[in-house]
Structure 1
Amino acid sequence: MNNNNNKQNIASQSDYAPLPELAGYRFYRFTGSDEDYENIVDIVNSRYAEPDFHSKTTVEETRHDYQYHGASCKNERDILFAEKDGQVVAYCRISQDKEKDKPYYKYFSMLFVRPGFWVDGLPETLLTWCESQAVARQKAHHAGAKGEHRYHCLEKIDYKVDFITKAGYQPIRYWDTKIHTLEHIPHYALPEGFDLRPVMPSQYRAIWEANNEAFLDHWDMNDMSEEDYQTWLSYKSYFQPHLFQVAWDGDEIAAMVLPCVDGLENESRNRARAWLADISVRRPWRGRGLAKALISRSLEMLKLMNLKEAVLVVDTENPNGASKLYDTMGFVTEERGISWMKPLIE
């Protein structure tokens, strides 16, 4: 691909930032070709030994996931590849969220770099391009509104903490990943007046809406759209309604725990792990022991499935004391993540 041609093709598109330049590297945007997907998979899977590696992926899964980015990330605009000596060694992308009920926009930069190539100023070049792409989008679609750049990394990866600090970002939130070994599971019965029911497709939207409502008082809530709902339904490694534990009070959803099992993650990491992806109790039903009962039931179910551990992520400043609740249930902190922010200046 010729960089000059690429530049000419996007010259008239105001929400496209120019391609970066770095000696020894060639940069180009995502085109949707089979080769692009193969390069993404190759880079992701090459990071197997990295401490923040999640799971191996496939072209099929990546193609499925990337088609649901929607307005948050337009792949052809917001994904950039870096090539050196004929080998694609990194890619980056940005996505955007809008804060709940406010004209305030957050742009998340994600960098995927092949081991051995966090050098030559490449990460800095990728991050700078992500920031430029965010500014281009903000100017084109939300001129005059405020916004910020975001980045996330694990606290234990010193070189990434140093990298993002030098780029002018400040830590704004901490997230603990907590793990339960599925031994010594405390038992809490479901309070009287509530019942559990198998989840039916006709209930999917009600579950989605009840969960979003329950999180309205949490930090960093975003506007949710129909596109977000369809994306939720599409992620099969996350959306597994046969595992959902939903407590009903008559015709009202009171609380839920939404477990999921990522088969590719378990296979690539050689473990038997489940995630408690969402745990929520709606306001009228808080303080009645519903969360404990549903977590207890979920852990018991996962143990019967021969899984060996359950994991969740919690905001260390959760306004409802969730972190302490999980500790009383037998969860222990495995690692901590950091959300970073830098103001977006047009």
Structure 2
Amino acid sequence: MRSMATPTAEQIVPPDAPAVDGLRFRHYAGDQDIPGLVHLWNAAYRADDVELVWTEESMRVVLAHPTNHDPARDMIVAESGDRIVGIGTAHWFIRSGEYQAEIDGAVHPEFRHRGIGCAILRWSERHAREVATENGADPRWLSTWKNDSQLGDIAMLQQEGYSAVRYFFEMERDLAVPIPAARLPKGLVITPVRDQDERRVFDAENEAFRDHWGHREFVDADFERQVAAPEHDTSLWQVAWDGDQVVGAVTVWIYPEENQTLGVNRAWLERVSVRRRWRRRGVARALIAAAMRATRERGLSTAALGVDTQNPTGALGLYEGLGFTVHKRGSAWQKAFELGAR
């Protein structure tokens, strides 16, 4: 896939770049890079059995509405000839009160085991330290996320001093299996999401997730990215109300390109939340059951969601009780952030 880089893309010379003929590094050059980046990420994910599929439109939205990230500055692109063969990204967030630099990256399967991934990772770390210094931050961690199937990435992280600190499941449920009856507590109702209510639901989710490990505050850019996403459709969302108060929500997303590419017929229950005041009353169970019924009626055959295995609100047990089983596993990885390191 052609990268279509422009001469204005600033070149990068990592000190530990491998000696690979024709290999060069640069910053992100703008929208003309998107086709090449989509091809790269999807090839890397297929090789590592990661069930995520990018489209050009979805990537364009993400890059147009970044959170604590400047694509033109905070990305490193590796090229060979006219192909993008590697990518690294850096963001920063305050999670649970601690400054974290979050990095991610990928190398095309045809270019692995040549030191490209390590050069990208080390550049991302150095760049994250520079940004932290400019922000006057007191950083704690370099962080990233990997599926258990990304064995090469995990080996590299371990080599570079990262440790797994938290474990997660992706879970699925066959919607052909009967869905249990589950009702909301008296006085609560589920109503369709109106356009003018979506921000209120978003803010309520933010509040609910403050109790979760690694939470960061949702900001305007996150909401803008949500409503601009090509798959944005609130018609399957299940939101419980107590008068004019949002109680909890299950936001359902369907990714047609992903389903077609992977040969599945799946809907994601992307966020399941209940505000603290209404917990332990069966709200989440009722909302998930309603979401599964609505999804099945739409013609989907599988429901999926992600969960922190140590979730403090008992989410894992709830999902297992509703018939979800583990499909994939993943981990959050961290490394102590040292401003003076290489």
Same fold (TM over 0.5): yes
Letter in 2 for 1:329: L
Letter in 2 for 1:164: L
Task: Kindly indicate whether residue 25 of structure 2 is the aligned counterpart of residue 50 of structure 1.
Answer: no
Q: 2:63 aligns with which of 66, 76, 83?
A: 66
Name the CA shift for 1:52/1:148 in 2 (closer, same or farther; >3 Å): farther
Letter in 2 for 1:271: V
Task: Kindly indicate whether residue 208 of structure 2 is the aligned counterpart of residue 210 of structure 1.
Answer: no
**1:224 Cα offset (Å):** 2.8
Task: Kindly indicate whether residue 214 of structure 2 is the aligned counterpart of residue 220 of structure 1.
Answer: yes
Q: Structure 2: any 5+ residue segments left out of the alignment?
A: none
Q: Distance in 2 between matches of 1:204 and 1:198?
A: 10
Letter in 2 for 1:38: P
Q: Deviations over 1:240-293 (max 9, x none)?
A: 221110111111111111111111111111111000011111111111111111
**Preserved CA contact (<8 Å) 2:267 2:302:** yes
Letter in 1 for 2:86: A
Q: 2:134 aligns with which of 122, 126, 140?
A: 140
TM-score (norm 2): 0.90
**1:41 Cα offset (Å):** 1.9
**Preserved CA contact (<8 Å) 1:107 1:148:** yes
**1:98 Cα offset (Å):** 1.6
Letter in 2 for 1:74: D
Q: Distance in 2 between matches of 1:198 and 1:79?
A: 39
Q: Deviations over 1:5-51 (max 9, x none)?
A: 936xxxxxxxxx864532122111112151x1121122123336323
Q: 1:150 aligns with which of 143, 148, 153?
A: 143
Name the CA shift for 1:78/1:54 in 2 (closer, same or farther; >3 Å): farther
**Preserved CA contact (<8 Å) 1:274 1:310:** yes
Q: Distance in 2 between matches of 1:294 and 1:167?
A: 42
Aligned to 1:12: none
**Preserved CA contact (<8 Å) 1:3 1:27:** no
Task: Kindly indicate whether residue 108 of structure 2 is the aligned counterpart of residue 114 of structure 1.
Answer: yes
Q: Deviations over 1:58-101 (max 9, x none)?
A: 3333222211114x21011111111234532111111221235x
Q: Distance in 2 between matches of 1:3 and 1:128?
A: 25
Name the CA shift for 1:33/1:19 in 2 (closer, same or farther; >3 Å): farther
Letter in 1 for 2:268: W
Q: Percent identity?
A: 29
Comparing 54-63 and 335-344, the one that deviates more: 54-63
Q: Distance in 1 between matches of 2:239 and 2:166?
A: 29
Q: Secondary structure at the match of 2:272?
A: strand
Task: Kindly indicate whether residue 294 of structure 2 is the aligned counterpart of residue 298 of structure 1.
Answer: no
Q: Distance in 1 between matches of 2:90 and 2:9?
A: 23
Comparing 80-89 and 325-334, the one that deviates more: 80-89
Q: 2:179 aligns with which of 185, 201, 205?
A: 185
Q: Secondary structure at the match of 2:149?
A: coil
Q: Mapping of 1:98-109 within 5 angstroms?
A: 98-100=94-96, 102=97, 104-109=98-103
Q: 1:259 aligns with which of 245, 252, 265?
A: 252
Name the CA shift for 1:219/1:5 in 2 (closer, same or farther; >3 Å): closer
**Preserved CA contact (<8 Å) 1:146 1:344:** yes
Letter in 1 for 2:271: D
Task: Kindly indicate whether residue 223 of structure 2 is the aligned counterpart of residue 229 of structure 1.
Answer: yes
Q: Distance in 1 between matches of 2:212 and 2:244?
A: 25
Task: Kindly indicate whether residue 200 of structure 2 is the aligned counterpart of residue 196 of structure 1.
Answer: no
Q: Deviations over 1:198-240 (max 9, x none)?
A: 1111111211111111111111111332222222322243x42
Q: Structure 1: any 5+ residue segments left out of the alignment?
A: 8-16
Aligned to 2:319: 326
Letter in 2 for 1:248: W
Q: Distance in 2 between matches of 1:94 and 1:283?
A: 33
CA RMSD of aligned residues (A): 2.2
